[in-house]
């Protein structure tokens, strides 16, 4: 169970915040900042929820394509370049699911760079959040409620949204970590 909250901000670019709790069966533990990561070469930041194995494969095995200035269409870049790269890493490492001819994963990904915020769902559909904010995981409703529909948002708004979800969503807890598309560093929120 997880909360990953994200929003486009004026000061920090995109901010992604996550809880640090992992749970399985009847057990839970603090996993630190592992739900967030950075690809410094491409200047991408990520937050992942869902299946732990699929998330690890995506995080450690995906060959991320470069977003170049000639890519004016973010959705096309995601659909034609990023999703195939994710599917390839999952397939090559035994984590791609197939049922009735349809590929899927058990992980959901929030990806951002500069002021671009994108979500890749379990069925590999791509969402570009129309309001400039999004949340995934079991704390999604709480985070959406905390951020509301109208920005502008701040880094603290995104961190607060993740923190709010730890109070009421089952399986969401622990310290909150965040990363911004400006500084590309995963940090523990105070």
Look up the CATH number of the domain holding residue 143. Answer: 3.60.20.10
pTM metric for this prediction: 0.94
Give the confidence band of 121 by pLDDT, cuts at 50, 70, 90: very high
Q: Which residues of 24-59 are buried (b: 16+ CB within 10 A; e: fewer)?
A: eeeeeeebebbbbbbeeeebbbbbbbbbeebbebbb
Q: Which of 130, 163, 127, 182 is nearest to 5 (CA)?
A: 163
Which structural domain, as residue segments, surrounds residue 36?
A: 4-188
**How many domains does the chain divide into?**
1
Element containing residue 175 per DSSP (H, E): none
Query: Contact at 8 Å (CB) between 39 and 59?
Result: no
Q: How far apart are CA 64 and CA 161, in angstroms?
A: 28
| pLDDT at residue 119, as a whole number | 98
Q: 136-185: per-residue pLDDT in tens?
A: 999 999 999 999 999 999 999 999 999 999 998 877 889 999 999 999 99
């Amino acid at each position: 169970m997880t909360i990953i909250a994200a929003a486009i901000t004026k000061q920090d670019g995109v901010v992604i915040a996550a809880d640090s709790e992992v749970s399985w069966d009847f057990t839970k533990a603090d996993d630190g900042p592992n739900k967030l990561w950075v690809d410094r070469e491409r200047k991408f930041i990520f937050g992942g929820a869902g299946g732990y194995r699929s998330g690890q494969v995506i995080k450690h095995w995906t060959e991320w394509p470069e977003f170049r200035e000639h890519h004016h269409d973010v959705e096309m870049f995601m659909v034609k370049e990023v999703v195939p790269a994710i599917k390839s890493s999952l397939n090559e490492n035994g984590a791609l699911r197939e049922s009735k001819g349809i590929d899927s994963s058990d992980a959901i990904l929030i990806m951002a760079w500069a002021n671009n915020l994108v979500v890749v769902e379990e069925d590999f559909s791509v969402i570009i959040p129309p309001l400039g904010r999004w949340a995934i995981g079991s704390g999604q409703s709480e985070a959406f409620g905390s951020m509301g529909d109208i920005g502008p948002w701040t880094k603290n708004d995104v961190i607060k949204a993740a923190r709010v979800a730890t109070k009421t969503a089952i399986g969401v807890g622990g310290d909150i970590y965040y990363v911004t598309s400006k500084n590309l560093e995963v940090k523990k929120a105070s």
